[in-house]
Amino acid sequence: MCKPDVSYRNINMKINSNIKIVGEKVILVPYTQIHVPRYHEWMKSEELQQLTASEPLSLAEEYEMQKSWREDDDKCTFITLDKELFEKTNDEIKSMIGDTNIFLTDKDQAQGEIEIMIAEKSARGKKMGWETVILMLLYGIEYINLKKYEAKISLSNEKSIKMFYKLGFEEQSRSEVFQEVTLYKEISTEWTTWLKEQCGYKIEKYD
Protein backbone atom coordinates (compact mmCIF):
# COMPACT_ATOMS: atom_id res chain seq x y z
CA MET A 1 0.00 0.00 0.00
CA CYS A 2 1.37 3.43 -0.91
CA LYS A 3 2.15 5.77 1.92
CA PRO A 4 -0.23 8.74 1.99
CA ASP A 5 1.15 12.23 1.53
CA VAL A 6 0.47 13.63 5.00
CA SER A 7 1.66 17.05 6.15
CA TYR A 8 1.94 17.57 9.90
CA ARG A 9 -0.33 20.58 9.48
CA ASN A 10 -2.89 18.49 7.63
CA ILE A 11 -2.98 15.34 9.75
CA ASN A 12 -5.59 12.81 8.68
CA MET A 13 -6.61 10.46 11.48
CA LYS A 14 -9.17 8.59 9.38
CA ILE A 15 -6.78 6.91 6.96
CA ASN A 16 -6.91 3.70 9.02
CA SER A 17 -10.51 2.96 7.98
CA ASN A 18 -9.48 0.56 5.20
CA ILE A 19 -6.09 -0.75 6.29
CA LYS A 20 -4.74 -3.30 8.74
CA ILE A 21 -1.30 -3.50 10.32
CA VAL A 22 0.29 -6.95 10.33
CA GLY A 23 3.03 -7.98 12.73
CA GLU A 24 4.55 -11.31 13.73
CA LYS A 25 2.20 -12.03 16.64
CA VAL A 26 -0.70 -9.62 16.18
CA ILE A 27 -2.84 -7.92 13.55
CA LEU A 28 -4.33 -4.47 14.10
CA VAL A 29 -7.68 -3.86 12.41
CA PRO A 30 -9.98 -0.80 12.44
CA TYR A 31 -12.48 -0.69 15.31
CA THR A 32 -15.88 -1.36 13.72
CA GLN A 33 -19.38 -2.04 14.99
CA ILE A 34 -18.88 -5.81 14.92
CA HIS A 35 -16.22 -5.47 17.63
CA VAL A 36 -18.37 -3.42 20.03
CA PRO A 37 -20.23 -6.20 21.95
CA ARG A 38 -17.05 -8.00 22.98
CA TYR A 39 -15.29 -4.72 23.73
CA HIS A 40 -18.25 -3.76 25.90
CA GLU A 41 -17.92 -7.04 27.84
CA TRP A 42 -14.23 -6.32 28.43
CA MET A 43 -14.95 -2.90 29.88
CA LYS A 44 -17.25 -4.30 32.55
CA SER A 45 -14.03 -5.42 34.26
CA GLU A 46 -13.13 -3.23 37.25
CA GLU A 47 -9.48 -4.10 36.68
CA LEU A 48 -9.53 -2.75 33.12
CA GLN A 49 -11.51 0.30 34.20
CA GLN A 50 -8.83 1.08 36.76
CA LEU A 51 -5.89 0.43 34.44
CA THR A 52 -7.38 2.53 31.64
CA ALA A 53 -8.97 5.20 33.86
CA SER A 54 -12.31 4.46 32.17
CA GLU A 55 -15.90 4.62 33.31
CA PRO A 56 -18.32 1.78 32.44
CA LEU A 57 -20.63 2.60 29.53
CA SER A 58 -23.92 1.13 28.40
CA LEU A 59 -23.88 -0.87 25.17
CA ALA A 60 -25.61 2.02 23.38
CA GLU A 61 -22.96 4.43 24.68
CA GLU A 62 -20.23 2.03 23.54
CA TYR A 63 -21.65 2.09 20.00
CA GLU A 64 -21.59 5.90 20.10
CA MET A 65 -18.00 5.80 21.33
CA GLN A 66 -17.04 3.49 18.46
CA LYS A 67 -18.67 5.91 16.03
CA SER A 68 -16.65 8.80 17.45
CA TRP A 69 -13.44 6.80 17.14
CA ARG A 70 -14.35 6.15 13.53
CA GLU A 71 -15.35 9.68 12.56
CA ASP A 72 -13.49 12.17 14.76
CA ASP A 73 -10.49 13.96 13.28
CA ASP A 74 -8.37 13.72 16.43
CA LYS A 75 -8.70 9.98 17.17
CA CYS A 76 -7.45 6.76 15.64
CA THR A 77 -8.00 3.28 17.05
CA PHE A 78 -7.32 -0.34 16.13
CA ILE A 79 -8.46 -3.62 17.63
CA THR A 80 -5.64 -6.06 18.34
CA LEU A 81 -6.10 -9.62 17.08
CA ASP A 82 -4.10 -12.70 18.02
CA LYS A 83 -2.56 -13.42 14.62
CA GLU A 84 -2.14 -17.16 15.11
CA LEU A 85 -5.73 -17.57 16.31
CA PHE A 86 -7.11 -15.44 13.49
CA GLU A 87 -5.22 -17.43 10.86
CA LYS A 88 -6.75 -20.62 12.28
CA THR A 89 -10.32 -19.35 12.65
CA ASN A 90 -10.66 -16.36 10.30
CA ASP A 91 -12.87 -14.95 13.06
CA GLU A 92 -12.02 -11.43 14.23
CA ILE A 93 -14.30 -11.54 17.26
CA LYS A 94 -12.82 -14.76 18.64
CA SER A 95 -9.33 -13.40 17.93
CA MET A 96 -9.75 -10.06 19.74
CA ILE A 97 -7.31 -9.54 22.61
CA GLY A 98 -7.24 -5.77 23.10
CA ASP A 99 -6.99 -2.38 21.45
CA THR A 100 -4.65 0.53 20.87
CA ASN A 101 -5.28 4.13 19.95
CA ILE A 102 -3.81 7.55 19.33
CA PHE A 103 -5.29 10.89 20.38
CA LEU A 104 -4.00 13.94 18.54
CA THR A 105 -3.16 16.25 21.46
CA ASP A 106 -1.31 19.04 19.65
CA LYS A 107 -1.77 19.35 15.90
CA ASP A 108 0.72 22.19 15.42
CA GLN A 109 3.42 20.21 17.22
CA ALA A 110 2.28 16.91 15.63
CA GLN A 111 2.00 15.34 19.07
CA GLY A 112 -0.10 12.29 19.84
CA GLU A 113 -1.02 10.38 22.98
CA ILE A 114 -0.79 6.60 22.62
CA GLU A 115 -2.75 4.05 24.62
CA ILE A 116 -2.78 0.25 24.68
CA MET A 117 -4.90 -2.34 26.43
CA ILE A 118 -4.50 -6.13 26.39
CA ALA A 119 -7.86 -7.18 27.77
CA GLU A 120 -7.55 -10.96 27.44
CA LYS A 121 -5.48 -12.30 30.32
CA SER A 122 -4.50 -15.35 28.25
CA ALA A 123 -2.73 -13.01 25.80
CA ARG A 124 -0.63 -11.26 28.43
CA GLY A 125 3.02 -12.07 28.98
CA LYS A 126 3.47 -13.18 25.37
CA LYS A 127 4.94 -9.98 23.91
CA MET A 128 1.65 -9.23 22.14
CA GLY A 129 1.27 -5.93 23.95
CA TRP A 130 4.88 -5.06 23.14
CA GLU A 131 4.33 -5.73 19.44
CA THR A 132 0.96 -3.95 19.41
CA VAL A 133 2.39 -0.71 20.76
CA ILE A 134 5.39 -0.83 18.40
CA LEU A 135 3.12 -1.32 15.37
CA MET A 136 0.97 1.60 16.51
CA LEU A 137 3.99 3.82 17.15
CA LEU A 138 5.30 3.10 13.66
CA TYR A 139 1.88 3.74 12.14
CA GLY A 140 1.70 7.11 13.87
CA ILE A 141 5.17 8.03 12.65
CA GLU A 142 4.80 6.95 9.04
CA TYR A 143 1.11 7.48 8.32
CA ILE A 144 0.02 10.28 10.66
CA ASN A 145 3.45 11.92 10.59
CA LEU A 146 3.70 12.49 14.34
CA LYS A 147 6.83 14.09 15.80
CA LYS A 148 6.31 13.38 19.50
CA TYR A 149 4.46 10.83 21.62
CA GLU A 150 3.13 10.94 25.14
CA ALA A 151 1.58 8.18 27.23
CA LYS A 152 -0.51 8.70 30.37
CA ILE A 153 -0.43 5.59 32.53
CA SER A 154 -2.02 4.72 35.87
CA LEU A 155 0.60 4.54 38.62
CA SER A 156 -0.80 1.11 39.51
CA ASN A 157 -0.03 -0.21 36.02
CA GLU A 158 3.62 -1.03 36.64
CA LYS A 159 3.96 -3.41 33.70
CA SER A 160 2.84 -0.77 31.22
CA ILE A 161 5.13 1.86 32.75
CA LYS A 162 8.12 -0.51 32.50
CA MET A 163 7.23 -1.33 28.89
CA PHE A 164 7.19 2.31 27.84
CA TYR A 165 10.50 2.95 29.63
CA LYS A 166 11.92 0.00 27.69
CA LEU A 167 10.63 1.65 24.51
CA GLY A 168 12.71 4.73 25.31
CA PHE A 169 10.05 6.97 26.85
CA GLU A 170 10.98 9.32 29.70
CA GLU A 171 8.93 10.77 32.53
CA GLN A 172 7.46 14.19 31.83
CA SER A 173 5.19 14.66 34.84
CA ARG A 174 3.43 12.82 37.63
CA SER A 175 -0.01 13.50 39.10
CA GLU A 176 -0.82 12.28 42.59
CA VAL A 177 -4.36 13.64 42.18
CA PHE A 178 -5.09 11.53 39.09
CA GLN A 179 -2.66 8.80 40.15
CA GLU A 180 -0.95 8.72 36.76
CA VAL A 181 2.40 9.39 35.17
CA THR A 182 2.90 11.10 31.80
CA LEU A 183 5.78 9.76 29.70
CA TYR A 184 7.05 11.24 26.45
CA LYS A 185 9.28 10.41 23.50
CA GLU A 186 10.66 12.66 20.77
CA ILE A 187 10.64 10.79 17.47
CA SER A 188 13.95 10.38 15.63
CA THR A 189 15.18 8.45 12.63
CA GLU A 190 17.36 6.29 14.87
CA TRP A 191 14.46 5.41 17.17
CA THR A 192 12.18 4.62 14.21
CA THR A 193 14.83 2.28 12.82
CA TRP A 194 15.16 0.59 16.22
CA LEU A 195 11.37 0.09 16.40
CA LYS A 196 11.38 -1.59 12.99
CA GLU A 197 14.07 -3.98 14.18
CA GLN A 198 11.85 -5.22 17.02
CA CYS A 199 9.20 -6.95 14.89
CA GLY A 200 7.80 -7.41 11.42
CA TYR A 201 5.62 -4.53 10.21
CA LYS A 202 3.54 -4.19 7.09
CA ILE A 203 0.39 -2.40 5.97
CA GLU A 204 -2.29 -4.27 4.07
CA LYS A 205 -5.75 -3.47 2.75
CA TYR A 206 -8.60 -4.20 5.18
CA ASP A 207 -11.79 -5.40 3.48
pLDDT higher than threshold 70 for residue 4: no
Identify the band that residue 15 occupies on the pLDDT scale cut at 50, 70 and 90.
low
pLDDT class for 13, splitting at 50, 70, 90?
low
DSSP state of 149: E
Does 135 map to a domain? yes
Gap between the Cα atoms of 73 and 203, Å rounded: 21
Q: In degrees rounded to 5, what are phi and psi of residue 37?
A: -55, -45
Say whether pLDDT at 1 is over 50: no
Q: Is residue 96 assigned to a domain?
A: yes
Task: Spell out the residues 6+ positions from residue 162 whose beta carbon is closer than 8 angstroms to its own.
Answer: none
Q: Is the pLDDT of residue 9 over 50?
A: no
Task: Indicate if the pLDDT at residue 168 is higher than 60.
Answer: yes
- Average pLDDT across the chain, whole number: 88
* Domain annotation covers residue 154: no
Q: How far, in Å, are 155, 158, 181 from residue 177 at the CA level?
A: 11, 18, 11
Long-range contacts of 177-181 (CB under 8 A, 24+ apart): 178/53, 179/154, 179/155, 180/53, 180/152, 180/153, 180/154, 180/155, 181/152, 181/153, 181/155
Judged by DSSP in three states, 169 sits in coil
**Amino acid, single-letter form, for residue 37:** P
**DSSP secondary structure string for all residues of 29-54:** EE--GGGHHHHHHHTT-HHHHHHHT-
Q: What is the mean pLDDT of residues 21-49?
A: 91
Mention every residue, 6+ apart, whose C-beta is less than 8 A from residue 24.
83, 131, 199, 200
- Domain with 39 in it: what CATH number? 3.40.630.30
Instruction: List the single range of 15-24, 28-37, 121-130 with lowest mean pLDDT.
Output: 15-24
pLDDT category of residue 54 using cuts at 50, 70 and 90: confident
Percent share of the chain, pLDDT over 70: 93
Q: Tell whether 41 is covered by a domain.
A: yes
Q: Domain for residue 192, yes or no?
A: no
Residue 125 in any domain: the answer is: yes
Q: Does residue 81 fall inside a structural domain?
A: yes
Smallest CA-to-CA distance from 18 within 143, 172, 173, 169 is with 143
| Domain interval for residue 41 | 15-103+114-146+199-205
3-class SS at 176? coil
How many domains in the chain?
A: 1
> Does 138 fall in a domain?
yes
- Cα separation of 12 and 14, whole Å? 6
Averaged over 36-41, what is the pLDDT?
92
What's the whole-model pTM score? 0.88
